[in-house]
Chains A and B, each alone.
Chain A
Amino acid sequence: MSISICNISKQFGDFVALKDVSLEVPSGSLLALLGPSGSGKTTLLRIIAGLEQADSGHIKVQDEDVSQLSARDREVGFVFQHYALFKHMSVFENIAFGMRVRHLKDAEVRPRVNELLHLVRLEGLGNRYPSELSGGQRQRVALARALAVKPRLLLLDEPFGALDAKVRQELRTWLRNLHEEMHVTTVFVTHDQEEAFEVADRVVVMKQGHIEQAGTPQDVFDHPATPFVMDFLGHVNVFHGRLEAGQMHLPGFAMEYPEYQHATSRDATAYVRPHEVELDRTPQLETSLPVRVVHVNPAGPVTRVRLVSDAFGAAINVDLSPGRYRELALRPGDQVFATPKRLRVFLPDDYVI
């Protein structure tokens, strides 16, 4: 089932939670709403579910306008951040709840619940109570409960937010696999860009009630549309300087930027990802920047190096592959040369080429 979100606006008192948001969710896709807190992502999710009423705009599910339907009639499976399991019911009854309130016969309920318990790998735990389960198990029960009534859409509000890192990692992979099996159109909210990129096949970055950018994870990561997206999606080095005839000029050094060939110089801000800077013992280019190593952290899949340019006093972060790090054998205090391989410059909207 596809979802069409058309011109949704929502205000809470003076706070604008969403302004004129439109978005298409293709049928069978797994989409992540990504953004910092206050960006309106959870509000949008709750409006899709019917738990919140939009001030204006409408929501269509497969060409049917559901804006006026109550949450009860939308056939949406909703998974809450803090699970919201029914404490006084066993796991079995939690999962069965949606079918019980629809007055399904026990002969139908029982096999379906057992099937779901199998699906979420909680066989044999049907008689437990939520308080006897771990966080990861509880979230799987919540998911099974949402899936029990065969929803048209599955919506998850920061589903792994309350779990520790290892369990979260497991559940991400598991959710991805589950989606591959079930193909229910799924929207989930997260503030963790890693999680969004790993699980979703479409990512929507939100900021202050509007959509900054939507696209595949690769699109969004490689071609950030705005400085906000660039900054939000990972570490970044920021340089303020002047742009002129294919080069970005900073006090003491310059970077190539062939996209801008005008002779008129203008103020600009350049963004460089730490893994897109190369370090060498000898300068690669005339424009390479001499820098001094301040700190090296070789723990983890990449070696993080913090450097400082004595020429203009700015700190630069660089991520090296462990192999390159061993080659260079960097120590704090070493003098090296940094060469940005890729920089992005965002020019203000009023600028016309």
Chain B
Amino acid sequence: MHPSSLRTKKTAGRFVADEPLWLRILLITAVYLIIGLLILVPMAYVFWQAMAEGWEGLVKNLWKDPDTLHSMWLTMTLAPLTVVLNTIFGLAAAWTITKFKFPGRTLLVTLLDVPFAISPVVVGLMLVLLFGMQGFLGPTLREWGIKVIFAWPGLLLATMFVTLPFVARELIPLMESLGDEEETAAVSLGANPWQLFWRITLPNIKWGLVYGMIQCHARAIGEFGAVYVVSGHIAGETDTMPLRVEKLFQEYNNPGSFAVASVLTLMALATLFGKYLLEQYIARQMATDAVE
């Protein structure tokens, strides 16, 4: 959801008042029931299972298992690194697409959506076919001593591919709506491109950028399919948190599995909370803009 779509929230309540009471009650109850059944109950169950052996059990399952510990470290380094790289890419892509007119521009915008459209498993497979030992580039890279598949670089590539569009997708409409008036003014006042970016462009897009980064981070933490294919499941080496959850579950280690799952869920909730705070902030900004 784009921050600007928050504007419509205020008027949305108006329609409800026109409906008969019984229909309102029915619909609201249905919504709570579905959300409860599909989201709240399973989430609560994750925490309940994780705490099945009490706090000590949870700590033991998380801290005393070196492979689990490693998977947490891996995810918590991979995700931020992905966010940083995709932020740089997203800024560059949004800048290119909104500032320059060139052939194939619309095609590029469409191509940006490819990672959202392709199944992550296929993404993983493509990477294996390209960088694997029997793959197109694999043997050459091997000679240079670079291992991509079943190694850390493959995990990074897979996560990056899947989360590539988030920042760019958020920035392109935003930068288009901002136009270039302020930037033209800055240039005529003597700003160089560097000053232009840091003093004018970035302050104008910062909240959209943070929003895109948050979404990118949330997706990077939870990525399973693409990473599953390229990781090779080497415990203590290429297992990320989602992979670790699955592996422990397959090994009938339910408390261990749910312990990692609860940490993952907590991280997701924290991201959501960050997103919520940001949305509140943007809505407030818009309210003050609207008063003017």
Contacts and interface: CB of A to CB of B under 8 A. Distances in A.
A250 interface: no
Interface in B158-173: none
B96 interface: no
A203 interface: no
Interface string A40-57: 000000000111000000
Contact of A88 (B190, B191, B204, B292): B204
A84 B182 CA distance: 5
A241 interface: no
A149 interface: yes
Interface string B166-195: 000000000000000110111111111001
B190 A149 contact: yes
Contacts of A74: 188
A72 B187 contact: yes
A86 B182 contact: yes
Given A84-B181, A87-B204, A132-B292, A97 B188 contact: no
A80 B185 contact: yes
A98 interface: yes
Contacts of B181: 80, 82, 84
Interface string A49-89: 11100000000000000000011111011101010111110
Contact of B188 (A49, A85, A86, A100): A49
Given A86-B182, A87-B182, A131-B289, A145 B203 contact: no
Contacts of A142: 185
B288 A131 contact: yes
Interface residues of A, number: 29
A100 B200 CA distance: 13
B199 interface: yes
A154 to B, nearest CB: 11
Contacts of B288: 131
Contact of B190 (A80, A85, A87, A98): A98
A107 interface: no
B192 A131 contact: no
A70 B187 CA distance: 9
Contacts of A86: 182, 185-186, 199-200
Contacts of B203: 88
Contacts of A132: 292
Contacts of B289: 131
Given A87-B182, A88-B204, A101 B192 contact: yes
B109 to A, nearest CB: 22
Contacts of A102: 190
Given A84-B181, A86-B182, A87-B182, A98 B204 contact: no
Contacts of B190: 72-73, 98, 101-102, 149
B184 A145 contact: no
Contacts, number: 66
Interface in A95-116: 97-98, 100-102
Interface in B253-292: 288-289, 292
A51 B188 CA distance: 8
Given A84-B184, A84-B185, A101 B191 contact: yes
A15 to B, nearest CB: 15
- Interface-central residue, A76, A78, A86, A146, by most chain B CB under 10 Å: A86
A169 to B, nearest CB: 24
Contacts of B204: 87-88
B292 A71 contact: no
B187 A131 contact: no
B288 to A, nearest CB: 7
A78 to B, nearest CB: 4
Interface string A297-317: 000000000000000000000
Contacts of B186: 86, 97, 101
A136 to B, nearest CB: 15
A96 B199 CA distance: 13
A76 B199 CA distance: 20
Given A87-B182, A88-B204, A132-B292, A101 B199 contact: yes
A159 to B, nearest CB: 13
- Interface-central residue, B191, B204, B289, by most chain A CB under 10 Å: B191
Nearest to A74: B188
A133 to B, nearest CB: 9
A131 B292 contact: yes
B4 to A, nearest CB: 15
A328 B235 CA distance: 105
B195 A101 contact: yes
A70 B190 CA distance: 10
A132 B189 CA distance: 23
A77 B186 CA distance: 11
B103 to A, nearest CB: 15
Contacts of A49: 188
Nearest to B193: A72
A76 B292 contact: no
A100 B188 CA distance: 14
Given A50-B188, A145-B185, 14 more contacts: A51-B184, A51-B187, A51-B188, A71-B188, A72-B190, A77-B188, A78-B185, A84-B182, A86-B199, A88-B204, A101-B186, A101-B189, A101-B192, A131-B288
Interface of A: 49-51, 70-74, 76-78, 80, 82, 84-88, 97-98, 100-102, 131-132, 142, 145-146, 149
26 contacts: A50-B188, A51-B184, A51-B187, A70-B187, A72-B187, A72-B190, A72-B192, A76-B188, A78-B185, A78-B188, A82-B181, A84-B184, A85-B182, A85-B185, A86-B182, A86-B186, A86-B199, A87-B204, A88-B204, A97-B199, A98-B189, A101-B192, A101-B195, A131-B292, A145-B189, A149-B190
